[in-house]
Amino acid sequence: MSVILIFMAGIAVIITWWMAQQRLTSKPWLEVGRAGDVPDGSSSAPATEKIGLYVFLAVVGALFSLLISAYFMRMDTADWWSVPIPNLLWVNTAALAASSVALHWTKAETRENRGEATRVALLAALATAVLFLIGQVLAWRELAAAGYLLTNNPANSFFYMITGLHGLHIIGGLAVLSRTTWKAWNGAEPSGLRLSVELCAIYWHFMLLVWLILFALFAGWANDFIDICRQLLT
Amino acid sequence: MVEIQSGIGTAIPPAETEDMELYHPKSWWTKYVFSQDAKIIAIQYSLTAIAIGLVALVLSWLMRLQLAFPGAFTFIDAERYYQFITMHGMIMVIYLLTALFLGGFGNYLIPLMIGARDMVFPYANMLSYWVYLLAVLVLAASFFAPGGPTGAGWTLYPPQAVLSGTPGGQDWGIILMLSSLILFIIGFTMGGLNYVVTVLQARTRGMTLMRMPLTIWGIFTATVMALLAFPALFVAAVMMLFDRVLGTSFFMPALVEMGTLLPHQGGSPLLFQHLFWFFGHPEVYIVALPAFGIVSDLISTHARKNIFGYRMMVWAIVIIGGLSFIVWAHHMYVSGMNPAFGFFFATTTLIIAVPTAIKVYNWVLTLWRGDIHLTLPMLFALAFIVTFVNGGLTGLFLGNVVVDVPLSDTMFVVAHFHMVMGIAPIMVIFGAIYHWYPKITGRMLNETMGQIHFWITFLGAYAIFFPMHYLGLMGVPRRYHEMGETIFNPPSAHMLNIFITVMALVVGAAQIVFLFNLAWSLRKGKPAGGNPWRATTLEWQTPQTPPVHGNWGKELPVVYRWAYDYSVPGAAEDFIPQNQPAPDRLSRGALA
Amino acid sequence: MAVVVVLVVLAVGSVLFHFFSPWWWTPIASNWGYIDDTIIITFWITGVVFVAVVLFMAYCVLRFRHRAGNRAAYEPENRKLEWWLATVTAIGVAAMLAPGLFVWNRFITVPDHATDVEVVGQQWLWSFRLPGSNGKLGTAATGSIAADNALGLNKNDPNSLDDIIIEGGELHLPVGKPVKVLLRSVDVLHNFYVPEFRAKMDMVPGMETYFWFTPTRTGTFEILCAELCGVGHPQMRGTVVVEEEADYQAWLQEQPTFSQLMASGEDVQTAEN
């Protein structure tokens, strides 16, 4: 359970940092009146939707941390043989990274109010993300054809389950991204798309990060990392 | 909406919100059925939760009948008994308590108490309810599925939960249960995002965190915890579905079932327990923290006195919420996990007792030198303190690793968790309903029926669960469909069982009075007026009662003071609403 | 006023019930009197707190209940009082935790001279295995379970052959000798629980768990399963007989070893053929 505990510690740090700014030691019964009662006076407060997305990403982060925790705990048993990493996964990683970059580019274009470029960039992001999903399915088929079936070994089970859940999250994101793209191609002004593009970009970067961690996990690099940590501790 | 939200962060936002981007219902269907108004959603959540909760109540009757009169009711065989306890537990913990506190009270009270017009994502809020309803229906469907619902116990421990020796293990029961849980979590996440972000972003001008009523603190903290804890149950449920349906071996070791070696290999039942309790323990506080918050407000309002030690109360809520994530394995002292963990988890568990005890002291110190009105909400609040203290103290037995060894898996545990997370929070729910019903409907609940309901429920519930501890102390294990003959138990132990069953039937029947009261008072209750309890918090200051769509009319309220200005020296009334400007701003101390 | 009376009756009644009801733990038969002691300590501390809180509430209701013209005092907080209460609570908690952890340390530290006894759970039956003349238990695995090898012993392990197997019968133990109980399950979770011994531990398929105790008085005790294991859970009973060393040895001589069981199984097979 160490991975989820590390994740929760991170969340706890963020919450503590936020709470530290909320004057939790003030004595509210002494503070009657209005002045000075909105401590956060900055005008650059993030949009509600963005806060909502960050909270949601915390939930998704907890989900994948738990899966990784379970992976490590199950891995200790004797019947574990790691899955070979199909080379296709490198291509998929590149596709997802390209998608993430494309969304970053879209964000820049909406800021500059360039309609045509926004539309193209959105389409590029959408296409590469779909490519990633297709690639993931092909990778599954490749593994299955090579005899690495779901129930043969817990490593296989974890591989299919975790990549599947990650794929479902990408599909969910695609639904939102398609909507934004459709709007862009049907005459929406780039300025009006700014927020949704930004939300998509944040989500995409996060899912890319999750994927990179998962990739490292399946490739076994994470184990080396854990071993190093263990050696440092002992 | 956008204007309100963006306004919160800025220094002095405009109080008037013209052209609100509130969703406006267009028809009866979108107003009362597919409503995006948090108040309607709250009522939908509450009624659904109460309805499925009544099923769980009937199941508890059937279980108790079997325990007191084994064999007398032939239709309650062992299979049915285990199905009843499983469904009773799961419904009560998840589908009633969690849904009612967060989906019900959270939806109704958060926007009103922080001075918002609605939740920030009304559409997701609506979806949250409908997914919850779907989860409840899937759960209920398992009663009609071939093989019936699962009888694995609410903890659903594998391998037993998915094997044929357990009702529903090789039928539809366990699949429907896990699917329903997954749906519940998805639905809850949509609602939970709303509760958290609404508190963060949609507070009205002047509503600093330290001016929020403790109800909001409790619900807010519990929701944050639930958002982070439910993924553990989600992962456990998905993995078990894989094991059950697709034949993987996440939790399934090599095992011989009834003489046949199953194809599973190497899985770890303990892994499931870790995941389950990583959710399961915070879940206890997900139910308890809203109760803590609400009861603080009930006591303060009805004792006409500010809550004692408000800051300590807030800190305690936050500290308890954080600590509850590092105590989960105290449910696993005798599970076979590395025994060295016992030292750590016993210590963290007993540390939680300190902030919890402080909360109890502050509740009773609020009564001290108060002006105690023995209204129904106050009576239920007192009952909460008694049952919560009782159940909390027995938690010190079970949390203290070696003391847990003889007591775990006995009726002592059953008595403990019913007292602390069954009876105590339900006392708060009743108190809260008697308290806020006038705001929701505009009418008071009938006092006589309320008194009958209170005395039978409180004393009856205590009479059920207090003696039950001693059954556990004698060594009666939990989850026994019948105890049968034992060497070590005196025959009188069975008398205790009969007594408990009789009390359970009586307490259950008393709830009919309550339900009747809810329906009767809707039409015949005394008109309540806007603020019958003379309370300070914002929900009592709405221009209309019941509050209309948008809550506040044209102008949002502005908050000038904390939520507990009761019996302020020098003030004309014994309460000052939060939105009442100070006659002299600096009269009671510096602003900084 | 009814509230005050009820609260007082409830607090006093609970204490009276505790001391005078006939329902109390069954007399202990193992060395874990320490556990009983920690329970007693916990009962005292928690009992005092419970009675104090409830009686204080009753007093508050009596003294400060609403009367016409009453007004509550205004007191947002009292740091001194709060810290004082927190400190006293922390001391009380430490007074329960410290002995608890001390006893837990004993509970998980098995003495070197403890004898191994294996308990195997299956739906819904207890089986036992005792080390044979060489004093060692052989290895076993769930995968090796067969009709003539109900506990899945390793036939190639020389330590297995002289192991004594008791399928579904009574377990006998000599009084006064520490026992390390090794727990195994072949199907689902079970829990080996004898109320008189105070100790219990889950049995988990795929792993071996343990606890230890010393039986301190002779007698016949009931084994209960304390972890839900399916519909037969309450019927999963067994018997432990604690007896004097001589009686124990006499009983031990009558029990079959693994090799004897296999031989008789083969006899049956050849006879059938």
Q: Residue C156: what pLDDT?
A: 87
In a domain, A111, yes or no: yes
Q: Does A27 touch chain C (CB under 8 A)?
A: yes
Please give the average per-residue pLDDT across B118-130, as a whole number.
94
Q: Does B210 touch chain C (CB under 8 A)?
A: no
Tokens of B103: 């989906």
Please give the average per-residue pLDDT across A28-55, as a whole number.
71
Model confidence at B240: pLDDT above 70: yes
Q: Residue B333: what pLDDT?
A: 94
Cβ of A59 within 8 Å of Cβ of B274? The answer is no
Q: Residue B56: what pLDDT?
A: 96
List chain C pLDDT tens, one digit each, 273 residues.
789 999 999 999 999 999 999 999 999 999 999 999 999 999 999 999 999 999 999 999 999 999 988 899 998 989 999 999 999 999 999 999 999 999 999 999 999 999 999 999 998 899 999 998 888 888 888 888 888 888 888 888 888 888 999 988 899 999 999 999 999 999 999 999 999 999 999 999 999 999 999 999 999 999 999 999 999 999 999 999 999 999 999 999 988 888 888 887 666 555 555
Q: At B589, is the pLDDT very low, low, confident or very high (cuts 50, 70, 90)?
A: very low
Q: Rounded to the nearest 5 degrees, what angle is found at the Cα of A116, between the Cα atoms of A113 and A121?
A: 90
Half-sphere exposure of C227 (CA within 13 A, CB side): 30
The mean pLDDT value of chain A amounts to 88
Half-sphere exposure of A31 (CA within 13 A, CB side): 22
B275 in Cβ contact with A66 (< 8 Å) = yes
Cβ of A74 within 8 Å of Cβ of B267? The answer is yes
Model confidence at A33: pLDDT above 90: no
Whole-number Å distance between alpha carbons of C42 and B393: 9
By CA distance, what is C79's nearest residue in B?
A: B309
Tokens of A69: 């925790």
Domain boundaries, chain B: 34-250+266-541
CA-wise closest residue to B183 among B141, B130, B140: B130
Q: Does B89 touch chain C (CB under 8 A)?
A: no
Chain C residues with CB-CB distance to B564 below 8 A: 76
Peptide bond into B546 cis (omega under 30): yes
A118 in Cβ contact with A81 (< 8 Å) = no
- Nearest chain A Cα distance for residue B10, angstroms: 5
Interface test with A, best of B196, B199, B201, B578 (most A CBs within 10 A): B201
B333 in Cβ contact with B342 (< 8 Å) = yes
Is the domain covering B34-250+266-541 a CATH 1.20.210.10 domain?
Answer: yes
**Environment class of C2 (CB within 10 Å of its CB; exposed 0-12, middle 13-18, buried 19+):** exposed
CB-CB neighbours of B369 under 10 Å: 19
C152 in Cβ contact with C142 (< 8 Å) = yes
**Using CB atoms, which residue from B157, B385, B406 is nearest to C57?**
B385
**By residue range, what is the domain housing residue A102?**
48-78+87-233
Q: Residue B5: what pLDDT?
A: 34
pLDDT digits (tens, 9 = 90+) for A103-140: 999 999 998 888 889 999 999 999 999 999 999 999 99
What residues have CB less than 8 Å from B228, skipping those under 6 apart? Answer: A8, A11, A58, A59, A62, B282, B325
CA-wise closest residue to B65 among B53, B52, B50, B80: B80
By CA distance, what is A40's nearest residue in B?
A: B9
Q: Rounded to the nearest 5 degrees, what angle is found at the Cα of B192, between the Cα atoms of B186 and B198?
A: 145
The helix or strand, by DSSP H or E, that contains position C210, with its residue range, turns out to be: strand C209-213
CATH code at A71?
A: 1.20.120.80
By CA distance, what is A79's nearest residue in C?
A: C206
Tokens of B76: 């309650």
B329 in Cβ contact with B277 (< 8 Å) = yes
- Which domains are assigned to chain C? 2-65+78-108 (no CATH), 115-272 (2.60.40.420)
Q: Residue C266: what pLDDT?
A: 66
Q: Residue C269: what pLDDT?
A: 57
**Using CB atoms, which residue from A33, A40, A52 is nearest to B193?**
A52
In a domain, A11, yes or no: no
Domain count, chain A: 1
Find where tokens 């004698």 sit: B474
pLDDT digits (tens, 9 = 90+) for B360-411: 999 999 999 999 999 999 999 999 999 999 999 999 999 999 999 999 999 9
Please give the average per-residue pLDDT across B567-587, as a whole number.
80
At C84, give phi and psi (nearest 5°): -65, -45
Q: At B193, is the pLDDT very low, low, confident or very high (cuts 50, 70, 90)?
A: very high
Half-sphere exposure of C205 (CA within 13 A, CB side): 31
CA-wise closest residue to C48 among B357, B407, B326: B357
From chain B residues 7-26, the ones with a CB under 8 A of any chain A CB are 8-12
Q: Beta strand C219-225 with C190-193: parallel, antiparallel or unpaired?
A: antiparallel
Q: Does C76 touch chain A (CB under 8 A)?
A: yes
Residue bearing the bigger pLDDT, C41 or B28: C41
Q: Residue B586: what pLDDT?
A: 45
Task: Provide the percentage of residues in chain B whose pLDDT is more than 70.
Answer: 94
- Nearest chain A Cα distance for residue B392, angstroms: 26
Phi-psi region at B157: left, alpha or beta (left = phi > 0; alpha = psi -120 to 50): beta
From chain B residues 113-172, the ones with a CB under 8 A of any chain A CB are 120-121
Please report the ipTM that was assigned to this predicted complex.
0.94
- Pairs of residues, one from chain A and one from chain C, whose beta carbons lie less than 8 Å apart: 3
- Nearest chain A Cα distance for residue B393, angstroms: 28
A175 in Cβ contact with A84 (< 8 Å) = no
CB-CB neighbours of C248 under 10 Å: 18
Tokens of B117: 């017009």
- The neighbours of chain C, by the rule of 3 or more Cβ pairs under 8 Å, are A, B
Helix ranges (DSSP H) in chain A: 2-20, 48-75, 88-112, 115-145, 154-185, 190-219, 221-233
pTM score, two decimals? Answer: 0.94
The Cα-based distances of B258 to B124, C124, C145 in angstroms read 48, 10, 11
Please give the average per-residue pLDDT across B172-182, as a whole number.
96
The mean pLDDT value of chain B amounts to 91
Tokens of B256: 């011989």
